[in-house]
Structure 1
Amino acid sequence: MLLIPILGDQLTHGLASLAGVDKADARLLLMEVAEETTYVRHHKAKIVLVLSAMRHFADELRADGWQVDYVRLDDPANSGSFTGEVARAVERHRPSSLRIVEAGEWRVQKAIEGWSGQFGLPVEIVADDRFICPLPDFFAWAASRRELVMESFYRQQRHRTGLLIEPDDTPTGGQWNFDKDNRAPPPKARPLREPQRFPPDDITRDVIALVEGSFRHHFGTLDAFALPVTAADARALLDDFITERLPRFGTYQDAMLEGADFLYHSRLSTSLNCGLLTALEVCQAAEAAFRRGEVPLNAAEGFIRQMIGWREYIRGMYWLEMPALGEANFFGNTRDLPDFYWTGETDMACCADSVRNTRDNAYAHHIQRLMVLGNFAMLAGIDPAQVADWYLVVYADAYEWVEHPNVLGMSQFADGGRLGTKPYAGSGAYINRMSNYCKGCRYDVKKRVGKDACPFNALYWDFLDRNEGKLRGNRRLWQPYATWNRFGEETKAEVRAQAKRFLDSLEGAAPGWARAVPGSPYE
């Protein structure tokens, strides 16, 4: 008999470990384990999403004729770890071998690689073909280049998939990238309606009750939980995005509008990252809408680039750089994460609204994550490990393989430029250009110093100043440094003093809060 463990981010009916398997001679093992809910103190909505999706998936597998061994979190005999539950399943079923799709996270993969010796059984680890670029191909691409620029990888991915490629092998529209058309400030009119929601059914309500009881001190609220927890719901959300939001997604993908939590974004990342959808199917849907004339090219290309370009590139970089990436701290930053990242209590309107969205929805779109919350953390010199933990905690689509490169590499530049060609640092001017936050903020975005000056302004110049020894040679920063050099010494001193006063006023949450495990067995 073959034992096939399925992890909580592998909820795909076409999973590679199931291919060619005789259902009568296999047991599928799905495990809810405390270790995975608490290695960071995940947002309540993330825990509900994964556990509910797992329970729905198990029911679908049984209906499809599979024999499923399902371990619930509240089972008194639950060992609390993947390895412990596989060990118990080996005792129950006495399999001749195990088969599992490679894990998405480094620490879980290392555990799997020890199973054969631990259990005395053959363990076949199958490549995860839900990703378009196999890891050996990515490693070969990386080994052949001095600089690992995503754009060149993305072009290979277009050829690999045939997406937006014409019969003569040229890119549709005559160019590869339409990003210059995708930087409009926020629209004056909000989207016609909120995106489709999926009210909790009985299974999800049971999970919500479990989470509210056992994880009551975790970050976030479940008052508005309405995420897709089945493949059918995820496909319905995809259809809704393609019809209602994708036509304007490209133009406004970098825009921010206070109180408009989703704008034209898809919200598909939670479904993609736990396996309810695959990147290829959502890209094919976007391309089909373009071919039908329902979606402009800049929108279709921008969305596809995020899926087969950036998402796949980030996954490859994670496996290329781990485990060293987890310890990266290029700037040597040591300041504790400010308390407002948990409470949302700050007079900076952009940060307050982004944290509120994060708390209420376990979501914020990529510019809120990168150019508001991530930008502030880097400018303020926050310890990148604490920043990375925070991102893992608060977002329902957060898994280490996607967060570590995006946060430690792109957002915090903690890898020193291995992933990004320059730090994503910006003053208040960028936020003002791409949002309406500054209009209602108590700080004046046009002021650099003074009690009402936007904190991002002095922090931006202070960041460049204190890191000049590490950044001066970056060819993409010559203009900001030329501007800084034109400031008089008195002006520079005022900027430094302004930044210091603000940083001294920050209250940091207790270090390690995101990973603390007090009280109950789960919290």
Structure 2
Amino acid sequence: MADTRRLVIVLGDQLDLEAAAFDGFDPAVDTVWMAEVAEESTHVWSGQPRIAVFLAAMRHFAIALQDAGRALVYTRLDAPGNVGSLAAQLAQDLARIRPSELVMTAPGDWRVLQAIQAVAAEAGLPLDVREDRHFFTSVRDFAAHARGRKALRMEHFYREQRRRFQVLMQDDEPAGGQWNYDADNRAAFGPDGPGFLPPRSTFEPDAVTREVLDLVARRFADHPGRLDSFAWPVTRDQALLALQAFITDRLPLFGRYQDALWPGDPWLYHSHLSAALNLKLLNPREVVAAAEAAWRAGHVPLASAEGFIRQILGWREYVRGIYWTRMPGYADANALDAQEDLPAWFWTGATDLACLRDALTQTLAHGYAHHIQRLMVTGLYALMLGVQPRQVHAWYLAVYVDAVEWVELPNTLGMSQYADGGLMGSKPYVATGRYLERMGPHCQGCRYDPAQRSGERACPYTTLYWDFLMRHEARLAAHPRMALQVKNLARLDDADRQAVRVRADAIRRGEVGALHG
């Protein structure tokens, strides 16, 4: 392969035939390079569903590349000579392929970018890192927005995006006269539950995917999670079908019930499109356009369309900007000096807290949980327990099928754990068990009482809420959005405070919450 001009590096989350890395691709002299390496499943102890999504999507994309007539060097995980590391595999293959230049679309992981840059430098090859056109905005756009701002609120950025791209706009004003419909999008299900739910889009594994599932089950048998219900879209055609099904069947009620919880029902009205988006099987422009078109056609309420579009056009673009303008230091943020270890049962679901057990077991089974389960069930518990943010980050990156570091890290450290001290979130998102009681019926079948903050039946969320306020009382007393909550500590006399501390210490020692035996 001595005449190779450009070697186009394609990573496992860059599965787009129209990516910038392919601009000017000449099949006569250019070659695509892809590799499955164990390192990407072990640098955090990735769950089996996440590993399988990436590998299955990569192998299907390799077929699409060959069908498009693009020369391809593809190393499978189980191939003889696979050295197990992305950088080492690339270095080994460069010696054989001998290209004149390396080209890639900008990756979504700082670690990966640094590794590939080091390989290129060692080989003495130019590396052309091209803008990822998958996003509405560039990192430079976000840097310009962030310049001079002490805090970076998503709402300000989102309104700029709406105006710039004329999404859900009527002239220069937001459709319907307001920018967001949060007040309309916080309903819980009634006592009888959600009733009939439109089915989740599922895709029966084909021969390629079944081969991957068998490989993952063998090679990563000691990793968390299960594969028996694997049905994620792993091709562009499947992703487009999933998009259409969501727009037609679930988006109409998505807004109203997007924060609701219900035991044993992981899918509800959510889109389940984030993995396909993050693998680049879907383009966010087509997703946003489909949601807006459904509203303009009268098929979807404005509150639902806006609530969904805000996640794509607003939040998704915003967290990417935070990541790339704040790394690498952002990964070490720990504004609350949290130092506890993540409970071991986060990897097994072995807890007697009903809401947390439901979120953890479905996460391990499917590699999926919706945003309230991530922020206000698993994330809330870790935040109030005081878990070291890096450990929380590693868990989220490992277990969710849509987890790529550019989106997962800011969501975890900034929004969920308040580790950046308020750069992203206007306050720590802390709450007692009463919040979870309002959003779903888990508390009815739980051994703990969300109304009690101490004693044997006290809900750990409620105990840890008051313990959190006590531990951070001085820090948060003057916080504009936390001061009222901190003032409520005045209701606790010394005996109350001591009782909360005793119960919180028992929770941290694993004497409360964990299932033993």
**Aligned equivalents of 1:258, 1:117: Cα separation in 2:** 52
Q: Cα–Cα, structure 1 residues 86 and 498, in superposed 2: closer, same or farther, change >3 Å?
A: closer
Q: Determine if contact 1:336/1:508 at 8 Å carries over to the other structure.
A: no
Q: Report the more deviating stretch, 470-479 or 287-296.
A: 470-479
1:233 aligns with 2:231: no
Could you tell me which residue of structure 1 aligns to residue 187 of structure 2? 184
Q: Cα–Cα, structure 1 residues 507 and 428, in superposed 2: closer, same or farther, change >3 Å?
A: closer
Amino acid at match of 1:341: F
Q: Determine if contact 1:115/1:123 at 8 Å carries over to the other structure.
A: no
Q: Determine if contact 2:476/2:486 at 8 Å carries over to the other structure.
A: no
**Aligned equivalents of 1:213, 1:507: Cα separation in 2:** 35
Could you tell me which residue of structure 2 aligns to residue 520 of structure 1? none
Q: Report the more deviating stretch, 482-491 or 406-415.
A: 482-491
1:175 aligns with 2:181: no
Q: Determine if contact 2:353/2:513 at 8 Å carries over to the other structure.
A: no
**Aligned equivalents of 1:457, 1:407: Cα separation in 2:** 21
Residues 463-478 of structure 1 correspond to what in structure 2 (within 5 A)?
A: 463-478=468-483
Could you tell me which residue of structure 2 aligns to residue 516 of structure 1? none
- Alpha-carbon displacement from aligned partner over 1:45-69 (angstroms, at most 9, x marks no partner): 1111111111111111111111111
Could you tell me which residue of structure 1 aligns to residue 206 of structure 2? 201
Could you tell me which residue of structure 2 aligns to residue 108 of structure 1? 112
Could you tell me which residue of structure 2 aligns to residue 137 of structure 1? 141
Q: Determine if contact 2:431/2:461 at 8 Å carries over to the other structure.
A: yes
TM-score norm. by structure 2 comes to 0.95
**Aligned equivalents of 1:84, 1:116: Cα separation in 2:** 11
Residues 349-364 of structure 1 correspond to what in structure 2 (within 5 A)?
A: 349-364=354-369
**Aligned equivalents of 2:434, 2:367: Cα separation in 1:** 27
Q: Cα–Cα, structure 1 residues 482 and 72, in superposed 2: closer, same or farther, change >3 Å?
A: same
Could you tell me which residue of structure 2 aligns to residue 518 of structure 1? none
SS of 1:70's equivalent in the other structure is: strand
TM-score norm. by structure 1 comes to 0.94
**Aligned equivalents of 2:513, 2:186: Cα separation in 1:** 34
Query: Which structure 2 residue ranges, 5 or more long, are not aligned?
Result: none
Q: Determine if contact 2:256/2:304 at 8 Å carries over to the other structure.
A: yes
**Aligned equivalents of 2:248, 2:343: Cα separation in 1:** 40
Residues 45-60 of structure 1 correspond to what in structure 2 (within 5 A)?
A: 45-60=49-64
**Aligned equivalents of 2:355, 2:218: Cα separation in 1:** 32
**Aligned equivalents of 1:229, 1:501: Cα separation in 2:** 44
Q: Determine if contact 2:449/2:457 at 8 Å carries over to the other structure.
A: yes
Residues 245-324 of structure 1 correspond to what in structure 2 (within 5 A)?
A: 245-324=250-329
The Cα of 1:448 is off from its aligned counterpart by 2.1
Q: Determine if contact 2:224/2:348 at 8 Å carries over to the other structure.
A: no
**Aligned equivalents of 2:41, 2:323: Cα separation in 1:** 21
1:338 aligns with 2:343: yes
**Aligned equivalents of 2:452, 2:491: Cα separation in 1:** 18
1:371 aligns with 2:367: no
Query: Which structure 1 residue ranges, 5 or more long, are not aligned?
Result: 510-523
- Alpha-carbon displacement from aligned partner over 1:391-426 (angstroms, at most 9, x marks no partner): 111111111111111111111111111211100111
- Runs of 4+ aligned structure 1 residues displaced above 4 Å come to 506-509
1:425 aligns with 2:430: yes
Q: Report the more deviating stretch, 446-455 or 205-214.
A: 446-455
Could you tell me which residue of structure 2 aligns to residue 148 of structure 1? 152
1:384 aligns with 2:389: yes
1:7 aligns with 2:11: yes
Q: Determine if contact 2:477/2:487 at 8 Å carries over to the other structure.
A: no
- Alpha-carbon displacement from aligned partner over 1:105-161 (angstroms, at most 9, x marks no partner): 011111222343211222111011101110011111111323211101001111222
The Cα of 1:491 is off from its aligned counterpart by 2.4
The Cα of 1:350 is off from its aligned counterpart by 0.5
Amino acid at match of 2:175: T
The Cα of 1:506 is off from its aligned counterpart by 4.3
**Aligned equivalents of 2:200, 2:93: Cα separation in 1:** 41
Residues 215-234 of structure 1 correspond to what in structure 2 (within 5 A)?
A: 215-234=220-239
Equivalences, count: 508
Amino acid at match of 1:408: L
- Alpha-carbon displacement from aligned partner over 1:147-178 (angstroms, at most 9, x marks no partner): 21110100111122221122x22211111111
Amino acid at match of 1:185: A
Could you tell me which residue of structure 1 aligns to residue 460 of structure 2? 455
The Cα of 1:339 is off from its aligned counterpart by 2.1
**Aligned equivalents of 1:462, 1:84: Cα separation in 2:** 47
Could you tell me which residue of structure 2 aligns to residue 31 of structure 1? 35
Amino acid at match of 1:232: D
Amino acid at match of 2:189: P
Amino acid at match of 1:121: L
Q: 2:97 aligns with which of 89, 93, 100?
A: 93
Amino acid at match of 1:299: S
Could you tell me which residue of structure 1 aligns to residue 74 of structure 2? 70
Q: Report the more deviating stretch, 381-390 or 457-466.
A: 381-390
**Aligned equivalents of 2:194, 2:425: Cα separation in 1:** 34
Q: 1:505 aligns with which of 505, 510, 514?
A: 510
Could you tell me which residue of structure 2 aligns to residue 328 of structure 1? 333
SS of 1:114's equivalent in the other structure is: helix
Q: Report the more deviating stretch, 448-457 or 362-371.
A: 448-457
The Cα of 1:197 is off from its aligned counterpart by 0.5
Q: Determine if contact 1:337/1:508 at 8 Å carries over to the other structure.
A: no
Q: Report the more deviating stretch, 264-273 or 193-202.
A: 193-202
Q: Determine if contact 2:453/2:466 at 8 Å carries over to the other structure.
A: no
Residues 475-494 of structure 1 correspond to what in structure 2 (within 5 A)?
A: 475-494=480-499
Q: Report the more deviating stretch, 65-74 or 333-342.
A: 333-342
Q: Report the more deviating stretch, 144-153 or 256-265.
A: 144-153
Q: Report the more deviating stretch, 208-217 or 448-457.
A: 448-457
Amino acid at match of 1:126: R
- Alpha-carbon displacement from aligned partner over 1:423-463 (angstroms, at most 9, x marks no partner): 01110010011111111111112222221121111210110
Amino acid at match of 1:387: V
The Cα of 1:306 is off from its aligned counterpart by 0.5
Q: Determine if contact 2:450/2:462 at 8 Å carries over to the other structure.
A: yes
Aligned residues: CA RMSD: 1.5
Amino acid at match of 2:110: W
Could you tell me which residue of structure 1 aligns to residue 448 of structure 2? 443
